[in-house]
Amino acid sequence: MISIQRRSGSSLRWNVVCFSAAILCAFLSSAALLALSGGDAVKGFSALFTGAFGSQNALFGSLAKATPLLLVGLGTVIAFRAKIWNIGQEGQVLAGAMMAYWASLMVGSLPYWVALTVIALAGLLGGGILGLLAGYLKTRFGTNEVISTVMLNYIVIFFLAYLLDGGPWMETGVTVAYHQSPPVNPSLEWPDLFARGAGKLHIGFLFALAASAFCAILIDRTSLGYDIRAFGSNPTALRFRGTNVRRLLLVVMLLSGALAGLAGAGELFGTAHRLRAETLLGIGSSGIVVAMVGGLRPSGVMLAALFFGALKSGAIYMRLQSGTPAGLVSAMEGLVLLFFLCAVVATKFQIVRSNVHA
Amino acid sequence: MENLLSVQNLTKRFGPVTANDGVNLEVRKGEIHCLFGENGAGKSTLSSCLYGYYRADSGVIRFKGEVAELNSPADALRLGIGMVHQHFVLVSNFTVLENIIVGSAGTGLFLTKSDARRKISELCESCGLSIDLDREIWELSVGEQQWVEILKALYFGAELLILDEPTAVLTPQQSDQLFRILDGMRMRGLSIILISHKLREVMQSDRVTILRKGRAIATVETSETTAEAITALMVGHKVSKHVRDRSVEPAGEVLAVDRACAIGEWGEDILKDVSFNIGRHEILGLAGVAGNGQKELFETLMGVRALSSGGFSLEGEAITKPTSREMLDRGIGFVPDDRSLEGLIPEFGAAENLILGWQRAREYCRGPFLDRRKMDALARRKIEEFKVVTASADLPVERLSGGNAQRIILAREFLHSRGLLLANQPTRGLDVAASEFVYEKILEKRAAGFAVLLASEELDDLLRLCDRIAVIFKGRIMGIVRPEETTLLELGMMMAGDAKDVQRTVQ
Ligand SMILES: Nc1ncnc2c1ncn2[C@@H]1O[C@H](COP(=O)(O)OP(=O)(O)O)[C@@H](O)[C@H]1O
Ligand SMILES: [Mg+2]
- The model's pLDDT over B375-414, given as tens digits with 9 standing for 90+, comes to 999 999 999 999 898 889 999 999 888 888 999 999 999 9
Helix (H, G, I), strand (E, B) or coil at B466: coil
List residues of chain A with CB under 8 Å from any CB of chain B: 3, 5, 8-9, 217, 221-224, 226-227, 229-230, 232-234, 236-244, 352, 354, 356-358
Say what the pLDDT of residue A65 is: 94
Please list, residue by residue across B355-390, b when 16 or more beta carbons sit within 10 angstroms of its beta carbon and e when fewer do.
Answer: bbbbbbeeebbeeebbbeeebeebbeebbeebebbb
Cα-based angle B163, B165, B171 (whole degrees, multiple of 5) = 115
Say what the pLDDT of residue B452 is: 97
Rounded average pLDDT over A126-137: 97
Q: A222: which chain B residues are within 8 Å (Cβ-Cβ)?
A: 368-370
The share of chain B scoring above pLDDT 70, in percent, equals 94
List residues of chain B with CB under 8 Å from any CB of chain A: 14-15, 54-61, 67-71, 302, 304, 323-325, 327-329, 334, 336, 340-348, 352, 356-357, 359-360, 365, 368-370, 372, 399
Say what the pLDDT of residue B336 is: 94
Say what the pLDDT of residue A165 is: 85
- The model's pLDDT over A54-97, given as tens digits with 9 standing for 90+, comes to 888 899 999 999 999 999 999 999 999 999 999 999 999 999 99
- The answer to the question of residue A357 being in a domain is no
Whether pLDDT at B94 is above 90? no
Whether pLDDT at B246 is above 50? yes
CA B43 to ligand 1: nearest atom: 22
Concatenating the DSSP letter of every residue in B165-211 gives SGGGGS-HHHHHHHHHHHHHHHHTT-EEEEE---HHHHTTSSEEEEE
* CATH number of the CATH domain containing A239: 1.10.3470
For ligand 1, residues with CB inside 6 Å are: A 8; B 14, 17, 19, 37, 39-45, 389, 399-401
pLDDT grade, residue A256 (50/70/90)? Answer: very high
Whether pLDDT at B149 is above 90? no
Identity of the residue in A217, A224, A242 whose CB atom sits nearest the CB atom of B328: A242
Q: How far does residue B387's CA lie from ligand 1's centre (Å)?
A: 15
Q: How far does residue B406's CA lie from ligand 2's centre (Å)?
A: 13
pLDDT grade, residue A23 (50/70/90)? Answer: confident
Q: How far does residue A140's CA lie from ligand 2's centre (Å)?
A: 41
pLDDT grade, residue B335 (50/70/90)? Answer: very high
Q: A352: which chain B residues are within 8 Å (Cβ-Cβ)?
A: 55
Q: Are B298 and B455 in contact (CB under 8 A)?
A: yes
- The answer to the question of residue A352 being in a domain is no
How many domains is chain A partitioned into structurally?
1
- The answer to the question of residue A31 being in a domain is no
Domain annotation for chain B: domains and CATH numbers: 3-235 (3.40.50.300), 252-331+417-495 (3.40.50.300), 346-409 (no CATH)
Distance CA B479, CA B504 (A): 5
Whether pLDDT at A8 is above 70? no
Burial class (CB in 10 A: 0-12, 13-18, 19+), B33: buried
Closest ligand to B54 CA? 1
Number of inter-chain CB pairs under 8 A, A vs B: 97
pLDDT grade, residue A357 (50/70/90)? Answer: very low
Hey, which of B44, B51, B383 would you mutate to test ligand 1's pocket, going by the most ligand atoms within 8 Å of its Cβ? B44
- The answer to the question of residue A151 being in a domain is yes
Rounded average pLDDT over A280-288: 93
Q: How far is CA B122 from the centre of its chain?
A: 33
Closest approach of B404 to chain A, Cα-based (Å)? 17
Whether pLDDT at B1 is above 60? no
Say what the pLDDT of residue A355 is: 46
Rounded average pLDDT over B347-359: 96
Whether pLDDT at B478 is above 80? yes
Say what the pLDDT of residue A358 is: 34
Helix (H, G, I), strand (E, B) or coil at B215: strand
CA B400 to ligand 1: nearest atom: 27
Question: In angstroms, how far is the first alpha carbon of chain A from the final one?
Answer: 10
- The answer to the question of residue A117 being in a domain is yes
- Between the CA of residue A300 and those of A73, A230, A342, what are the distances in Å? 10, 21, 16
- The answer to the question of residue A13 being in a domain is no
Quick one: CA dihedral B247, B248, B253, B259, positive or negative? negative
User: Cβ contact (<8 Å) for B336 and A241?
Assistant: no
Rounded average pLDDT over B14-40: 89
- The model's pLDDT over B171-190, given as tens digits with 9 standing for 90+, comes to 666 778 888 889 888 888 89
Name which residue sits closest to atom 24 of ligand 1, judged by CA. Answer: B40
Rounded average pLDDT over A215-230: 97
Q: How far does residue B224's CA lie from ligand 1's centre (Å)?
A: 30
- The model's pLDDT over B224-245, given as tens digits with 9 standing for 90+, comes to 988 888 888 887 776 677 888 8
- The answer to the question of residue A345 being in a domain is no
Distance CA B333, CA A101 (A): 52
- The answer to the question of residue A8 being in a domain is no
Whether pLDDT at B34 is above 90? yes
A252 lies in which domain range? 40-323
CA B404 to ligand 1: nearest atom: 27
User: Cβ contact (<8 Å) for A234 and B56?
Assistant: no
Closest residue, chain A, to B359 (C-alpha): A223
Rounded mean pLDDT of chain B?
88
Say what the pLDDT of residue B276 is: 96
Cα-based angle B162, B168, B171 (whole degrees, multiple of 5) = 120
- The model's pLDDT over B420-436, given as tens digits with 9 standing for 90+, comes to 999 999 988 777 778 88
Say what the pLDDT of residue A356 is: 45
Tell me what ipTM this predicted complex has. 0.87
Most B CBs within 10 Å, among A234, A255, A353, to test the B interface:
A234
Concatenating the DSSP letter of every residue in B108-151 gives -HHHHHHHHHHHHHHHHHHHT----TTSBGGGS-HHHHHHHHHH
Indicate the pTM of the whole model: 0.76
